[in-house]
């Protein structure tokens, strides 16, 4: 079978990112791993930019842009620190946006119902770069001059202005104050537009996490402030329209494209810009799996649905609504409402399968019922001893590692997302005689389906609807967060769990688990 | 403990890399280059060409728009001829700006040269002069507003390394002239 280049690229990227994740988890813990919060970090950095930008605005003079920034930079403390923080935060924002986009691309979260987020994300990236362009032009040093002149060269082929914009930058007349005013206006107006696009960007996810955890928010701001103190930002020589720009400092994050477009004739530069933009905008099309491999949206079995609304509450993509029950399934004692999945919004994450106590919803083949059936077959095919553990491992993360490290007495049962897991599967394995069940999920903020581990934890320990039954001995159940490249974390957790289980008195297995489904149903009926 | 130290170390490395990449040295133009930049605005002569519509053409127009004669105003182009050290380097027709070509003519043209002295010869001449003028406008007013039909410059210019000189049109003195860094300021 021919290798799909997009899939190969994705796999390579994912492998690299997973390694970086493992390093950051080790050093900062998964709660504060910045790679897990790249999108939210961009929003946090915007806030830093807003606050520092307001301060800088008091010092900027349209009539003497270079001198006013130079004056600020020469201040021994606050002025230059805040200018540094503003600069470094904008640089960090580009890195965070790029990491955020690469991560979602590598995880294949770029098509279908996520296409809107992807396309608005590309627009956001473009707007961030243009906003940075106006910011650097404000300084009016050599870098600003080159950015302005190159921007004008590119814009002059677009037939919107009758007078070439390039004529503003020839020195024939002094630089008009109106230019700096317009530029400043754009620099302030663009972030407002950006805010609107962010709103659209997250409009299809439920409960978007717009800010990173407080520790990371403050930590990153303080780290950038410290950087601006120990490594103050400088300025290039002032712009001189009567000199070809010589060596000067350039910001790679916002001016990376200069050497590329300057080397090209203006038509070719535009062709390259349009090609790259199209390539990015069309990612939702070229990363979409072929129809046969596309995961199917969730389906509700209205006969089973009891109208409890839990899937509606848990769906991380707001794809479920509660609607009046159709006449076909109406009967005395049945709920007035049933859940309905909008296939255009459903990403097939499977979280609803774990939400539904009566097992009435989920993507085909992955509902609670399907899980129980598969788990029963799994248990029947082997002997589960009281010293054994079943490791229920998320396919995206730990499953591969668990398989690699599986030794005798460790049975790996993969699940498409830990958040998909119906808790009765845990009970089934324990009743079948295993000493303990370890659920290996991805670290919560790394969940490809956004909220899987969070709901799982609440179902197992905090009685969230579709909870693990009270009768289940919690000492024999454990959840561990292990990222895709964290073999050691997982293997250590398995070893420790087995030790703890060995210390518990051995319980004889029931072996007969066929009554479990009946039991679940009976309990549901009693509610 | 070591984990915390390593964490801070990684953060420091990331910070320093960020700062370095934030101010990376780059020369947008290599040395031993200089540039002659031509940049001015010209108001050319506006001409009006009128013709009678054929009966068929009239037929196709809505009744309220039927006029026997239609007139089109156009602005005459200029030809720009440049030679450097006796070699012709530019020969272009400059049309008026704007999507409907009803704006002034704008010249913006860059000529890279080696640093040193160069003999620069420029001719900027109106093309198609003497066709149907817009008779409604009195001639002196029009001429005061219009750029002369012929402009020329013939000068030896000396450019230092990375120097830029600008040739522009002085609207008061009605001639082309050369601006260099110090006298013009930026
Ligand atoms: C200014 C830049 C950006 C900001 C502030 C931003 C912020 C966010 C936030 C806060 C989320 C919700 C995360 C969550 O709660 O799970 C999100 C999701 C998303 N972002 Fe961005 N983003 C930006 C740029 C981008 C770019 C450049 C792309 C890709 C080209 C992108 C693609 C996505 C996608 C596909 C999702 C949906 C994830 C999912 O459905 O699982 N974003 N973004
Ligand atoms: S699979 Fe279920 S939880 Fe996931 S998006 Fe679809 S409806 Fe929502
Ligand atoms: S969780 Fe199940 S029972 Fe509850 S509303 Fe959803 S489909 Fe119906």
Helix, strand or coil, per DSSP, at residue A378: helix
Q: Which domain holds residue B131?
A: 29-45+75-183
Residue A514 Cα, ligand 2 centroid: separation in angstroms?
28
Tokens 């001059």 belong to residue: A145
User: A464 vs A357, A423, A447, A450, A459, CA distance in Å?
Assistant: 10, 11, 19, 17, 5
Burial of A183 (0-12, 13-18, 19+ CB in 10 A): buried
Total number of residues shown for chain B: 186
Helix, strand or coil, per DSSP, at residue A338: strand
Euclidean distance between CA atoms A147 and A153, whole angstroms: 10
Euclidean distance between CA atoms B137 and A227, whole angstroms: 67
CA A487 to chain centre: 22
Strand runs labelled E in A417-513: 436-441, 477-481
Model confidence pLDDT, tens digit, residues A344-354: 999 999 999 99
Q: In the 3-class helix/strand/coil scheme, how is A237-293 assigned residue by residue?
A: CECCCCECCCEEEECHHHHCCHHHHHCCCHHHHHHHHHHHHHHHHCHHHHCCCCHHH
A251-270 core/surface letters (b: 16 or more CB in 10 A; e: else): bbbbbebbeebeeeeeeebe
Say which CATH number the domain at A250 has: 1.20.810.10
Euclidean distance between CA atoms A460 and A108, whole angstroms: 29
Helices then strands, counting H and E runs in chain B, come out as 4, 11
Euclidean distance between CA atoms A421 and B91, whole angstroms: 75
CB A246 to CB B29 under 8 A? yes
> Which of A437, A173, A242, A9 lies closest to B181 in space, CA to CA?
A242
What six digits make up the tokens of A307? Answer: 């109208």
The reply to whether B24 falls in a domain is: no
CB B106 to CB A163 under 8 A? yes
Helix, strand or coil, per DSSP, at residue A207: coil
CB B108 to CB A166 under 8 A? yes
Per the CB < 8 A criterion, the answer to whether A36 and A445 are in contact is: yes
Q: Clarify whether residues A273 and A368 are in a common domain.
A: no
Task: Kindly list the residues from chain B whose CB atom is less than 8 angstroms away from the CB atom of residue A244.
Answer: 28-29, 33-35, 162-164
The number of beta carbons lying within 10 Å of the beta carbon of residue B43 is: 15
Alpha carbon of A200: minimum distance to chain B alpha carbons (Å): 30
Pocket residue to mutate for ligand 3, from A342, A358, A422, most atoms within 8 A of Cβ:
A358
Per the CB < 8 A criterion, the answer to whether B12 and B4 are in contact is: no
Helix, strand, coil: what percent of chain A each, to 5?
A: 55, 10, 35
Domain boundary among A222, A254, A284: A284
Euclidean distance between CA atoms B37 and A169, whole angstroms: 11
> Which of A376, A382, A475, A370 lies closest to A422 in space, CA to CA?
A370
Q: Clarify whether residues A136 and A273 are in a common domain.
A: yes
CB B165 to CB A242 under 8 A? yes
The reply to whether B103 falls in a domain is: yes
Residue A367 Cα, ligand 1 centroid: separation in angstroms?
28
User: A396 vs A42, A401, A452, CA distance in Å?
Assistant: 25, 10, 12
Ligand 3 within 6 A of A367 CB?
Answer: no
CB B180 to CB A242 under 8 A? yes
Per the CB < 8 A criterion, the answer to whether A200 and A124 are in contact is: no
List the residue whose alpha carbon is closest to atom 27 of ligand 1: A121
Alpha carbon of A142: minimum distance to chain B alpha carbons (Å): 9
Ligand 3 within 6 A of A359 CB?
Answer: no
Q: Calculate ∠ Cα A308-A392-A108, nearest 5°.
A: 80
Q: Which residues pair with B177 in a beta bridge?
A: B168
Residue A420 Cα, ligand 2 centroid: separation in angstroms?
10
In the A/B pair of chains, how many CB contacts fall below 8 A? 140
The reply to whether A90 falls in a domain is: yes
Residue A33 Cα, ligand 1 centroid: separation in angstroms?
17
Per the CB < 8 A criterion, the answer to whether A202 and A316 are in contact is: no
Number of domains in chain A: 2
The reply to whether A113 falls in a domain is: yes
What six digits make up the tokens of A262? Answer: 């300057």
The reply to whether A132 falls in a domain is: yes
Residues of chain B with pLDDT under 50: 132, 183-186
Per the CB < 8 A criterion, the answer to whether A113 and A345 are in contact is: yes
Task: Kindly list the residues from chain A whose CB atom is less than 8 angstroms away from the CB atom of residue B1.
Answer: none
Tokens 């319980």 belong to residue: A507
Euclidean distance between CA atoms A210 and A465, whole angstroms: 26
- Determine the pLDDT at residue A228: 97
> Which of A157, A131, B171, A177 lies closest to A168 in space, CA to CA?
A177
Domain boundary among A251, A268, A284: A284
Sign for the pseudo-dihedral over CA of A376, A377, A378, A384: positive
Residue A400 Cα, ligand 2 centroid: separation in angstroms?
24
Sign for the pseudo-dihedral over CA of A326, A327, A331, A332: positive
Say which CATH number the domain at B36 has: 2.60.40
List the residue whose alpha carbon is closest to atom 6 of ligand 3: A311
Domain boundary among A247, A268, A284: A284
The reply to whether A423 falls in a domain is: yes
The reply to whether B20 falls in a domain is: no
List the residue whose alpha carbon is closest to atom 5 of ligand 2: A346
Q: Are strands A361-362 and A299-300 parallel, antiparallel or unpaired?
A: antiparallel
The reply to whether B55 falls in a domain is: no
Ligand 1 within 6 A of A118 CB?
Answer: yes
Ligand 3 within 6 A of A307 CB?
Answer: yes
The number of beta carbons lying within 10 Å of the beta carbon of residue B164 is: 23
Q: Clarify whether residues A129 and A260 are in a common domain.
A: yes
What six digits make up the tokens of B79? Answer: 């030809």
Alpha carbon of B14: minimum distance to chain A alpha carbons (Å): 10
List the residue whose alpha carbon is closest to atom 2 of ligand 2: A352
The reply to whether B67 falls in a domain is: no
Q: Which domain holds residue A225?
A: 38-284
List the residue whose alpha carbon is closest to atom 20 of ligand 1: A117
Helix, strand, coil: what percent of chain B each, to 5?
A: 20, 45, 30
Helix, strand or coil, per DSSP, at residue B161: coil
The interface predicted TM-score (ipTM) is 0.90
Per the CB < 8 A criterion, the answer to whether A318 and A295 are in contact is: no
> Which of A167, A150, A170 lies closest to B166 in space, CA to CA?
A170
Alpha carbon of B120: minimum distance to chain A alpha carbons (Å): 18
Q: Using only the alpha carbons of chain A, give its radius of gyration.
A: 28
pTM: 0.91
> Which of A470, A474, A478 lies closest to A523 in space, CA to CA?
A470
Ligand 1 within 6 A of A94 CB?
Answer: no
Q: Could you tell me which residues come within 8 angstroms of residue A40 by beta carbon, excluding any fewer than 6 positions away?
A: A209, A210, A211, A212
Total number of residues shown for chain A: 527
Per the CB < 8 A criterion, the answer to whether A434 and A413 are in contact is: no
- Determine the pLDDT at residue A177: 86
Alpha carbon of A91: minimum distance to chain B alpha carbons (Å): 7
- Determine the pLDDT at residue A162: 77
What six digits make up the tokens of B30? Answer: 């290599």
Task: Kindly list the residues from chain B whose CB atom is less than 8 angstroms away from the CB atom of residue A229.
Answer: none
The number of beta carbons lying within 10 Å of the beta carbon of residue B79 is: 13
The reply to whether A304 falls in a domain is: no
CB A223 to CB B24 under 8 A? no
Ligand 1 within 6 A of A431 CB?
Answer: no
Q: Which residues pair with B36 in a beta bridge?
A: B111, B165
Euclidean distance between CA atoms B177 and B94, whole angstroms: 19
The reply to whether A247 falls in a domain is: yes
Task: Kindly list the residues from chain B whose CB atom is less than 8 angstroms away from the CB atom of residue A239.
Answer: 186
Q: Clarify whether residues A210 and A69 are in a common domain.
A: yes
Euclidean distance between CA atoms A184 and A202, whole angstroms: 28
The reply to whether B62 falls in a domain is: no
Q: Nearest CB to B37: which of A146, A170, A239?
A: A170
Q: Nearest CB to A27: which of B10, B18, B41?
A: B10
Q: What are phi and psi of A159, to 5 degrees?
A: -80, 65
CB B39 to CB A172 under 8 A? yes
Model confidence pLDDT, tens digit, residues B81-122: 999 999 999 999 998 877 777 788 999 999 999 999 999 999
- Measured from the Cα of A347, ligand 2's closest atom is 5
Quote the DSSP letter at residue B135: T
Sign for the pseudo-dihedral over CA of A213, A216, A222, A225: negative
- Determine the pLDDT at residue A325: 95
The reply to whether B173 falls in a domain is: yes
CB B26 to CB A247 under 8 A? yes
Q: Which residues pair with A339 in a beta bridge?
A: A322
Mean pLDDT by groups of 10 residues along chain A of 527 residues? 76 94 94 96 98 96 95 92 98 98 96 97 97 98 96 89 86 86 96 95 96 96 97 95 95 97 95 97 94 95 96 98 93 92 97 97 96 95 92 84 76 93 97 95 93 97 95 95 90 93 73 60 55
Ligand 2 site residues, Cβ closer than 6 angstroms: A 297-298, 315, 317, 319-320, 341, 346-352, 363
CA-nearest residue of chain B to A258? B28
Number of domains in chain B: 1
The reply to whether A5 falls in a domain is: no
Residue B81: which H helix or E strand, with range?
strand B78-84
What six digits make up the tokens of A457? Answer: 């934890």
The reply to whether A314 falls in a domain is: no
């Amino acid at each position: 079978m021919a290798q799909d280049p997009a899939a190969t690229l994705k796999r390579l990227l994912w492998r690299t990112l997973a390694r970086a994740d493992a390093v950051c988890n080790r050093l900062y813990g998964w709660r504060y791993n910045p790679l897990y919060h790249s999108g939210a970090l961009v929003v946090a950095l915007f806030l830093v930019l807003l606050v520092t930008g307001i301060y800088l605005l008091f010092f900027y003079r349209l009539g003497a842009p270079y001198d006013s920034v130079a004056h600020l930079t020469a201040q021994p403390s606050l002025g230059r620190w805040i200018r540094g923080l503003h600069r470094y935060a904008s640089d960090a924002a580009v890195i965070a946006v790029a990491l955020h986009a690469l991560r979602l691309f590598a995880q294949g979260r770029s098509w279908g119902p996520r296409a809107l987020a992807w396309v608005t994300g590309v627009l956001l990236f473009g707007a961030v770069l243009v906003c940075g362009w106006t910011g650097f032009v404000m300084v009016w040093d050599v870098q600003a001059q080159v950015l302005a002149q190159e921007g004008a060269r590119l814009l002059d082929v677009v037939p919107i202005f009758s007078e070439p914009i390039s004529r503003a930058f020839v020195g024939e007349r002094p630089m008009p104050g109106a230019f700096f005013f317009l530029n400043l206006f754009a620099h302030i107006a663009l972030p407002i537009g950006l805010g609107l696009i962010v709103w659209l960007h997250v409009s299809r996810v439920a409960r978007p996490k717009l800010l990173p955890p407080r520790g990371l928010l403050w930590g990153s701001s303080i780290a950038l402030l410290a950087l601006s103190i120990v490594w103050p930002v400088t300025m290039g020589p002032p712009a001189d329209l009567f000199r070809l720009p010589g060596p000067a400092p350039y910001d790679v994050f916002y001016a990376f494209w200069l050497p590329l477009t300057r080397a090209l004739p203006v038509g070719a530069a535009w062709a390259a810009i349009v090609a790259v933009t199209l390539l990015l905008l069309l990612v939702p099309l070229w990363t979409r799996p072929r129809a046969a491999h596309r995961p199917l949206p969730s389906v509700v079995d209205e006969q089973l649905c009891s109208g409890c609304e839990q899937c509606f509450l848990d769906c991380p993509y707001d794809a479920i609504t509660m609607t009046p029950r159709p006449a076909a399934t109406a009967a005395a004692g049945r709920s007035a409402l049933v859940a309905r999945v909008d296939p255009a919004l459903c990403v097939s994450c499977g979280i609803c399968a774990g939400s539904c106590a009566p097992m009435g919803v989920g993507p085909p083949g992955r509902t609670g019922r399907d899980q129980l059936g598969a788990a029963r077959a799994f248990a029947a095919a082997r002997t589960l001893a009281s010293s054994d553990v079943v490791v229920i491992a998320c396919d995206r993360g730990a499953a591969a590692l668990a398989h690699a490290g599986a030794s005798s007495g460790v049975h790996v049962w993969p699940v498409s997302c830990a958040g998909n897991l119906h808790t009765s599967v845990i009970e089934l394995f324990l009743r079948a005689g295993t000493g303990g069940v370890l659920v290996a999920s991805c670290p919560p903020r790394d969940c490809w389906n956004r909220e899987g581990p969070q709901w799982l934890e609440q179902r197992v320990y905090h009685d969230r609807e579709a909870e693990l039954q009270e009768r289940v001995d919690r000492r024999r159940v454990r959840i561990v967060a292990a990222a895709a490249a964290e073999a050691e974390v997982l293997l250590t957790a398995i070893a420790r769990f087995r030790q703890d289980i060995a210390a518990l008195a051995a319980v004889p297995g029931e072996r007969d688990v066929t009554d479990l489904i009946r039991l679940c149903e009976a309990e549901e009926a009693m509610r | 403990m070591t984990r915390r130290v390593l964490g801070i170390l990684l953060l420091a490395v990331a910070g320093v890399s960020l700062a370095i990449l934030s101010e990376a040295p780059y020369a947008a133009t290599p040395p031993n280059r200089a540039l002659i930049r031509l940049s001015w605005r010209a108001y050319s002569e506006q001409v009006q060409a009128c013709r009678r519509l054929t009966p068929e053409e009239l037929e196709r127009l809505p009744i309220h728009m039927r006029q026997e004669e239609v007139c089109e105003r156009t602005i005459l182009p200029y030809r720009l001829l440049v030679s450097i050290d006796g070699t012709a380097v530019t020969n272009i027709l400059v049309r008026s700006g704007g999507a409907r070509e009803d704006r002034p003519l704008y010249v913006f043209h860059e000529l890279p040269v080696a640093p040193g002295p160069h003999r620069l010869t420029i001719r900027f001449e109106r093309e198609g002069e003497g066709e149907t003028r817009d008779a409604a406008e009195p001639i002196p007013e029009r001429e005061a507003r219009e750029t002369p039909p012929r402009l020329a410059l013939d000068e030896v210019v000396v450019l230092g390394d990375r120097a830029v000189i600008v040739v522009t049109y002085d609207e008061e003195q009605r001639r082309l002239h050369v601006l260099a860094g110090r006298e013009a300021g930026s």
